[in-house]
Amino acid sequence: MKYSRELLQRIRDRLDLVEVVSAYTSLKQKGDRWWGLSPFKTEKTPSFTVKPQEGFYYCFATQKGGDLFSFIAEMEGISFPETVAFLAEKAGIPLSEEEEPDPQEKDRVALYELYKRVTRTFSWLLGEPAGAAAARYLEERGIGGEACKTFELGYAPDSRSWLYRFLRSKSYSPDFLQKSGLFSKKHSQYPLFRDRIIFPIADNRGRVVAFGGRSMNPEDRAKYMNSPDTLIYNKKQVLYGLPQALETLRSTRCVYIAEGYTDVIALHQSGIKNVVAPLGTALTEEQVRLLKRWVHEVVLVFDADSAGIEASFRAALIVEKMELGCYVLSMESGRDPADIYRTEGAEELRKKALDRVPAFEYLLAMASRDFDPQNDRSRDLLLRKVFPYITMVKSEVRREAMLEQASHVVRVSAGAIRADLQRWISGNTAPSHRRGQGQVGERGTGPTERKQRRDYTLVLACMQRSELFVYLRQSVTSEDVSDPDARRLFLLADDSLRHEEPLPQGVLDRLQEDPLREEVLLRLTSGEYQGWSEKDIDGAVRNIHVRKLEAKQRELESAIRAVTTSDPQKMRHLLEQKIVVDQELLQVKARSDD
């Protein structure tokens, strides 16, 4: 949905960008700028700068830039509407009826409220007689009362009708409850979770979006069960324990990824609070991409059985693909963090949590457990297990180091392994993908290609300050601008000034959720247009006029060639027009030579 520009400006006026950013990284003032360590990556020398007078930030280390809204969206991993709601609440500005979300967004808000209500109810039931057995089970597993509060654990009673009756009494409609993810698809009034310990699953803002349930019935075939995907929950994009881990993630830039709910809670209780877990599926790219907002290192904490080792292989590939440091915590077979915490205590688990090894070292060790150096087939199998990981590594130096490590294990030269690796890559790369590597295709529409577009560059440069665009507008109209994005920005800037709204904020507020907004912000905050003056604009405008006149020249020449000798009047008229255009073109080019 589109928010009013007045609302966005009120939020800007009410909130201090420096104060908002300071909640994520410490800033110090130097002149008219504030400097600090990048909130996007680990560094020792400050490369992150905020210009409060302009309302922008820029990170030289990551080349990310933007405004108040883009900063919060990046740090919190939320959409533009969620960012507006987040900042409006922070600024104490209520969203008016006109700013209310569309029907789907209303359903999302209602689902958040529903899950909040049900979470409180489940938590209350855990402390009641009905939840006594569940409470004892948690206590036996070493999960204390403080952890139950921190993770909002609860209990769903063994009843087929209680939840439906309870929620209907709170005025929730049957249709809404059916799509809530709380009830069976076959039997719309039967709760999905019955006689189960409840583990609320929350997003990175701490809003409960789903539940995990551990059955208390030993005969239940499904020991663990998770909510289905809903309007507010996608299991591939959410991580258990993330809101409880966020503060430590940000300070340590490191995350432990465990296999299940109780492992997360055990590590958290032992003092390792930067721990999360995927939800009933293997670790996904979406989950690692989310974590990349806050961390630069990942420690995998999976079982040491064959399934756990395979899961570590798959997860390590994803982590390496996302260019994060990857380590593995070597666990004893059959013993997970929850077992260690319960039997040996927090101190022992904390010690083991520090015993991490680089992912490639671990994967190579696991792959070589049954390796026979006298058997060529055994050597080939080992190398093909580690080749996928090596190919994910972008650093040539690291690749070479890994090839050397592998050569020591298989007892052949790194050069021979490198040759095998190249043959393996050739055999496992789709032809279409190989064709694309290192080739120059047609002009694209990404940021690099747009740098070549003169119109786009000109309009962006003039959007820095209102007076520059006013100067441009005296010589150029939107029809003179050939690039589609540049023409669109020109019209938005023109409309902003007509409404007496300053640039570039007026344009940014009109783009809102448009993908173009992010690129415009990045280009404006990078400083590449800071030196632009009226003289630079004059030169770019002359180029536009030359291009326009040359196009008119070609058009007239084509028309003249098409005229027959039987129509001398039309021929004379076209020739007169061409003479005028030729003279104008000479004059414009002469000015450019001055």
Structure tokens at 83: 């960012």
Question: Are residue 64 and residue 19 in the same domain, yes or no?
Answer: yes
The pTM for the full model equals 0.69
Buried b / exposed e over 548-573, threshold 16 CB at 10 Å, is bbeebbeebeeeeeebeeeeeeeeee
pLDDT at 436 over 60: no
Helix (H) or strand (E) holding 255: strand 254-257
Question: Are residue 105 and residue 197 in the same domain, yes or no?
Answer: yes
Question: Are residue 118 and residue 32 in the same domain, yes or no?
Answer: no
Question: Are residue 106 and residue 229 in the same domain, yes or no?
Answer: yes
> Which of 314-318, 319-323, 438-442 has the lowest average pLDDT?
438-442
Question: Are residue 77 and residue 39 in the same domain, yes or no?
Answer: yes
Q: What CATH number is attached to the domain comprising 277?
A: 3.40.1360.10
Question: If you ran DSSP here, which 8-state letter would residue 332 be given?
Answer: P
Does any domain span residue 283?
yes
Domain-ending residue, one of 43, 70, 99:
99
Question: Are residue 223 and residue 105 in the same domain, yes or no?
Answer: yes
Would you state the pLDDT for residue 293?
82
Beta bridge mates, 357: 328
Handedness of CA 36, 41, 42, 43 (dihedral sign): negative
Question: Are residue 108 and residue 93 in the same domain, yes or no?
Answer: no
Domain-ending residue, one of 99, 134, 157:
99
Handedness of CA 333, 337, 340, 342 (dihedral sign): negative
Q: What is the mean pLDDT of the chain?
A: 86
Question: Are residue 66 and residue 87 in the same domain, yes or no?
Answer: yes
Residues 6+ apart with CB under 8 A from 63: 522, 526
Across the range 167-189, mean pLDDT stands at: 93
Does any domain span residue 245?
no
Q: What CATH number is attached to the domain comprising 55?
A: 3.90.580.10
Confidence of residue 500 (pLDDT cuts 50, 70, 90): confident
Does any domain span residue 219?
yes
- Per-residue DSSP letters for 64-92? EEE-HHHHHHHHHT--HHHHHHHHHHHHT
Give the three-class secondary structure for 315: helix
Higher-pLDDT residue of 451, 542: 542
Higher-pLDDT residue of 8, 549: 8
Does any domain span residue 358?
no
Q: Look at the chain and report how many structural domains it folds into.
A: 6
Does any domain span residue 39?
yes
Question: Are residue 111 and residue 217 in the same domain, yes or no?
Answer: yes
- Work out the percent of the chain whose per-residue pLDDT is above 70: 92
Query: Is omega for the bond preceding 39 within 30 degrees of 0, making it cis?
Result: no
pLDDT at 444 over 70: no
Would you state the pLDDT for residue 522?
85
Q: What CATH number is attached to the domain comprising 120?
A: 3.90.980.10
Across the range 554-583, mean pLDDT stands at: 80
Across the range 216-228, mean pLDDT stands at: 90
Would you state the pLDDT for residue 449?
46
Question: Are residue 114 and residue 212 in the same domain, yes or no?
Answer: yes
| Residue 171 structural domain | 101-233
Would you state the pLDDT for residue 428?
60
Would you state the pLDDT for residue 156?
96
Would you state the pLDDT for residue 333?
67
Question: Are residue 115 and residue 92 in the same domain, yes or no?
Answer: no
d(CA 242, CA 264) in angstroms, rounded, equals: 10
Higher-pLDDT residue of 262, 96: 262
Question: Are residue 311 and residue 405 in the same domain, yes or no?
Answer: no
Residue 79 backbone phi and psi in degrees, to 5:
-75, 170
* Residue 172: closest CA among 105, 115, 95: 115
Does any domain span residue 241?
no
d(CA 503, CA 5) in angstroms, rounded, equals: 13
Domain-ending residue, one of 233, 267, 289:
233
Does any domain span residue 526?
yes
Does any domain span residue 362?
no
Structure tokens at 563: 């005229």
